[in-house]
Amino acid sequence: MSVADRTQPARTPLAPIATSRGRQRRLSGWGRAAFSRAHVVVATSAEQVAGVLADPAVRSGGVIARGAGRSYGDAAQNGGGTVLDLTAMAQVLGVDPQRRHVRVQAGVTYAQLLAELVPQGLMLPVIPGTRHVTIGGAVASDVHGKNHGHDGSLAGHVAELTVATPAGGCQRISAEADEELMLATLGGMGLVGVVVEATLAVEPLRTPWWSVDTDRTGSLSDTLELMARDEGHRFSVAWLDLLAGGRRLGQAVVTRSNDWASDQPREPTGRRGARRGEQPLQPPPRLSVPRGFPGSVLAPPLIAAFNELRWRSFPRHERGRPTPLTPHFFPLDGFGEWNRLYGSRGLLQYQLVLPDGGEATLMRCVEILRDRRIPSYLAVLKRFGPASGGLLSFPLEGWTLALDIPAWATGLRPALDQLDEFVAAAGGRVYLTKDLRLRRDVLAAMYPQLPRFEAERARVDPDGVMRSDLGRRLGLCATGP
């Protein structure tokens, strides 16, 4: 089926319709560290989304879209207002192998889309760290993957969007048609409108296997040195041990990979690989964390010991291990509801990016966390390539470090405030999709295109209908009627 097989008008005018306020629900992000209550409306069509945005009873409290709820912070919450649940809008509308495009509704997840594409020998160029993210959320966050240095973020692979804005209804936009709204939407945290459809680029997939090289490093400086060397890998990521003591702080397992080469066997077999049919695209989680799991079980000494064992379990140097799609891209998806490991008080994920030349600042940030005894249970380091141009898009060329930290850690917020100052001074920024506590006064230093974003928001949402807990906290949207 071609993407062109199903068409719709380029613009659907605003048409106020009777809409229920929805039922009130208590919502949080994936970190489960901050909750608020909102009226949740389950949307089933673009017309309904436009109608909700036009409904005076809804507009007074503001609206934000929500997909699978996988942003760590408060980006998809709207305390006291309305949240549009888009998960029912989950159709793959058309795949065009000739043009290498796929058109989907915003509630489609990566898991659903890959299950559609891979059997047809197609793949998405940018894959985030979990397959449970919706495409609408991925666009609003301008997601990135292990291959940002090679392929950039999702923004570079979006051909067209259908966006519902409070002032304009549903309209199709692209880089050629309304470029400024496109740039404000890509990474714009849902604060200029609701993405209801997306047309994305796809690429050929010979086989869903990757050739993975693994190295262990003994310190953060060794890790940075290894990852800075471009050895022709398309994908690269490092798991860091930030609980290791002394000079071993930042010892890492670095994995770098490429697509399975054309001169290699089509299907890996034998001792180091299984056949494709034995690796389902959507396997059930191997383990699932139960409700009420006591976060105090994961004390820093226990995690430090686990990290050391995990580091030693990897080979010091290994080349060409065949690895199938799911464990290659989504290692954490093997553990259902893993966020419950942090207990009832949840976790914060703090992700920063620093431009090339900011290695000393990166090391200083890690040392601050160590000196203040802030435990990071999971730390991931990646290289970024050039920025996408999205006005609030996170990636810029350099280094990005993501840290999972128990929300209950003593002194956490003052420590992260100090990191914010170092990051901003070095020309870096933090990822808004994962943020829960950034100060408003630091935001402008991190996101220099903020005035352009605000101007576009004023144009397409002059009454300040698009609102979220994140937006209010950072001054990115109206705070009330």
Domains 3-204+448-474 and 209-260+295-439 share a fold: no
Q: What is the pLDDT of residues 395-427, one digit of tens each?
A: 999 999 999 999 999 999 999 999 999 999 999
The pLDDT of 449-472, averaged and rounded, is 97
Instruction: Please check the confidence at residue 296 and state whether its pLDDT lies above 90.
Output: no
Gap between the Cα atoms of 264 and 226, Å rounded: 26
> What pLDDT is recorded for position 8?
40
The position carrying tokens 């690895």 is 323
Between these two residues, 326 and 278, which has the higher pLDDT value?
Answer: 326
Q: What is the pLDDT of residues 118-132, one digit of tens each?
A: 999 999 999 999 999
pLDDT band of 171, cuts 50, 70, 90? very high
Burial of 352 (0-12, 13-18, 19+ CB in 10 A): buried
Q: Following CA atoms 132, 136, 140, 142 in sequence, which dihedral angle do they give, to the nearest 10 degrees? A: 60
Instruction: Please check the confidence at residue 158 and state whether its pLDDT lies above 80.
Output: yes
Residue 312 to residues 215, 218, 317, 324, 331, Cα–Cα distance (Å): 11, 11, 12, 23, 18
The pLDDT of 96-115, averaged and rounded, is 96
pTM above 0.85, yes or no: yes
> What pLDDT is recorded for position 289?
82
Gap between the Cα atoms of 134 and 450, Å rounded: 25
Of the listed ranges 111-115, 191-195, 278-282, the least confidently predicted one is 278-282
Between these two residues, 283 and 240, which has the higher pLDDT value?
Answer: 240
The DSSP-derived string for 128-184 is -S-TT-BHHHHHHHT---TTHHHH--GGGGEEEEEEEETTTEEEEE-SSSSHHHHHH
Cβ(322)–Cβ(269) below 8 Å = no
Gap between the Cα atoms of 66 and 134, Å rounded: 9
Q: Count other Cβ atoms within 10 Å, centred on residue 180.
A: 16
pLDDT band of 2, cuts 50, 70, 90? very low
Cα 297 → chain centroid:
28
Between these two residues, 298 and 227, which has the higher pLDDT value?
Answer: 227
CATH number for the segment(s) 209-260+295-439: 3.30.70.2520
The pLDDT of 24-31, averaged and rounded, is 96
> What pLDDT is recorded for position 298?
81
The domains of the chain are located at: 3-204+448-474, 209-260+295-439
The pLDDT of 347-365, averaged and rounded, is 97
Q: Count other Cβ atoms within 10 Å, centred on residue 282.
A: 13
Gap between the Cα atoms of 137 and 389, Å rounded: 18
The pLDDT of 38-50, averaged and rounded, is 97
The pLDDT of 58-84, averaged and rounded, is 96
> What pLDDT is recorded for position 285?
72
Gap between the Cα atoms of 4 and 466, Å rounded: 31
The pLDDT of 258-279, averaged and rounded, is 58
In words, the CATH class of domain 3-204+448-474 is: alpha beta
The pLDDT of 220-247, averaged and rounded, is 94
Percentage above 90 pLDDT, the chain: 82
Gap between the Cα atoms of 165 and 149, Å rounded: 32
pLDDT band of 262, cuts 50, 70, 90? low
Instruction: Please check the confidence at residue 180 and state whether its pLDDT lies above 70.
Output: yes
Cβ(366)–Cβ(403) below 8 Å = no
> What pLDDT is recorded for position 295?
79
> What pLDDT is recorded for position 77?
98
pLDDT band of 15, cuts 50, 70, 90? very low
Instruction: Please check the confidence at residue 267 and state whether its pLDDT lies above 70.
Output: no
Instruction: Please check the confidence at residue 278 and state whether its pLDDT lies above 60.
Output: no
In the predicted model, what is the mean pLDDT of the chain? 91
The pLDDT of 8-26, averaged and rounded, is 59
Q: Which two tokens stand for residue 84?
A: 């549009």
